[in-house]
Chain A
Amino acid sequence: DSGVTQTPKHLITATGQRVTLRCSPRSGDLSVYWYQQSLDQGLQFLIQYYNGEERAKGNILERFSAQQFPDLHSELNLSSLELGDSALYFCASSTLPRINEQFFGPGTRLTVL
């Protein structure tokens, strides 16, 4: 158990809908990262937050947004969902703002029908 929690574990929704994925980092970790894992594109870094502020951005679509709250949990919002957004979404956390060793959550499996 990494100490990173993600909810929900599974999510099934329809095209055009909006969903919110939630992540709680390990106790004491200030950085949260979001990744998308799909069969065709592998594991892709989406975005990083550190202590409530956006720190780094990867291949995140404009339809996706994220935030980190004062209690350090983070939410990833996915809107206008498309079939191709079906994937595993992982959250990871670390102690430092520099991306270094990360601890991954168990993931949320999103299925868009």
Chain B
Amino acid sequence: GDSVTQMEGPVTLSEEACLTINCTYTATGYPSLFWYVQYPGEGLQLLLKATKADDKGSNKGFEATYRKETTSFHLEKGSVQVSDSAVYFCALSSNTGNQFYFGTGTSLTVIP
């Protein structure tokens, strides 16, 4: 069945460092892909999404490109800030639209 695998954490970076959180997926057909972010004590918020191959989602300096050839949707940011400290979830909406799968989450801590 469909699934999402994302990089294990936790990840600790210094402010202004580059970030990459890997996400790969297994799915039939053409799923939609998402990154959600969960700040401490809050619910999940949509960070960015891509609905077809080669689409690039971007928001708040974060980017991810839907790569069908490598079944990946890696999250990147060129310069992280302390305020980016959160848990990041990669997610997939199945081709049928009837199921939604989340990765296990990657905790990011950015230190000044």
Report which A residues bind B (CB closer than 8 A). 2, 4, 33, 35, 42-45, 48, 55-56, 58, 90, 92, 97-107
Contact = CB atoms under 8 A, between A and B. Distances in A.
Contacts of A102: 46, 100
B94 interface: yes
Given A43-B89, A100-B32, A100-B93, A55 B44 contact: no
Interface of B: 32, 34, 36, 42-46, 49, 89, 93-94, 97-105
A56 B46 contact: no
B97 A105 contact: no
A45 B104 CA distance: 12
Contacts of B42: 106
Contacts of B43: 2, 4, 90, 92, 104-107
